[in-house]
Amino acid sequence: MTGGSKRVPHISASVLNADFSHLGAEVRRAAEAGVDSIHLDVMDGHFVDNITMGPVVVEALRPHTPLPYHSHLMISRPLRYVRAFAEAGSDVIAFHLEADDDPAAVIDEIHRAGRGAGLAINPETPAERALPFLERIDLLLVMTVNPGRGGQAFMTDVLPKLAALRAEADALGLDLPIAVDGGVNLETIGLAFAAGGDVLVTGSALYDTEGDLGGVVRALRDAASAQQPHLPDLERSRS
């Protein structure tokens, strides 16, 4: 996926903004639209104010698609819940560097559970704090909003940090996918991909759309590949 080879955008559907009364169908809708993975936002009402889902929801959703499930744990004590999210069907378990547990211990526990270890960092967390873990993780998740809810604006001032982490991972010769999470949409996905993001998490940009999502996913993928901000047709006709 990375490390010098030609990067291709990986579109990951965050179901946080989907219709929770039909979450299984919403997962299938994204899968049928051609996304590459499903992003499950887990919030404990402590690490962030919001409360969303636990392992029981991941388990219920697991049969709806064979696509990879990335569980994004915005919880204070990830170490205690690694096994439960692994057994529920997560393929990648991403926890926050800012959480209470020792990151190295959480990474080891995720690997002992046979899953991919993801490390998430908040917008204000400097790149330097993630560097000691780059060679031990399977996914780095760079937040471009403050965690806690969908539909927020993309923080462009995180882009230099993303580019620095991409350069560091490449300099180490790591094949390390970097996810970008928060405010990724047609206007911002090109910026995120150009700065070094590979796994582009989209929530409201996807689920604020009725019916078939295929066209949205194709447009997001094209905008990323073009590494250009997506100019609405109106703008294009003027230029």
Residues with a catalytic annotation lie at 41, 181
CA-closest candidate to residue 152, choices 114, 116, 201: 201
Q: Scan for tokens 């402590």, then name that residue.
A: 46
Give the three-state DSSP class for 205. helix
CA-closest candidate to residue 162, choices 142, 148, 177: 142
Is residue 151 near ligand DX5 by the rule CB under 6 A? Answer: yes
The site that binds ligand DX5 (CB under 6 A) totals a number of residues, namely 21
Tell me which of 150, 190, 196, 197 binds ligand DX5, using CB under 6 A: 150
Shortest distance (Å) from residue 184 CB to ligand DX5:
5
Tokens, residue 205: 């940009």
CA end-to-end span of the chain: 35
Taking CA 225 as the corner, what is the angle to CA 68 and CA 152, rounded to the nearest 5 degrees?
65
Q: Scan for tokens 């047609």, then name that residue.
A: 186
In the window 71-110, what residues touch ligand DX5 (CB under 6 A)? 72
> What distance in Å separates the CA atoms of residue 224 and residue 162, rounded to the nearest whole number?
15
Site residues (CB under 5 A) for Zn ion?
41, 72, 181
Shortest distance (Å) from residue 93 CB to ligand DX5:
14
Shortest distance (Å) from residue 78 CB to Zn ion:
14
Tell me which of 41, 138, 168, 198 binds ligand DX5, using CB under 6 A: 41
Q: Which is closer to Zn ion, CB of 76 or CB of 228?
A: 76
Interacting partner of 145 out of Zn ion, ligand DX5, none (Cβ under 5 to 8 A depending on kind)? ligand DX5
Site string for ligand DX5, 218-237 (x = CB under 6 A): --------------------
Q: Which is closer to ligand DX5, CB of 42 or CB of 110?
A: 42
The residues, ordered by sequence, that sit 6+ positions from 218 with a Cβ below 8 Å of its Cβ are 34
Q: Which is closer to Zn ion, CB of 36 or CB of 181?
A: 181
CB under 6 A: which stretch of 83-91, 93-101, 168-176, 180-188 binds ligand DX5?
180-188
Give the three-state DSSP class for 86. helix
Q: How many CB atoms lie within 10 A of CB 21?
A: 7
> What distance in Å separates the CA atoms of residue 139 and residue 199, rounded to the nearest whole number?
9
Q: Which is closer to Zn ion, CB of 168 or CB of 181?
A: 181
Give the residues lining the site for ligand DX5 (CB under 6 A): 14, 16-17, 39, 41, 72, 145, 147-148, 150-152, 181-184, 201-205
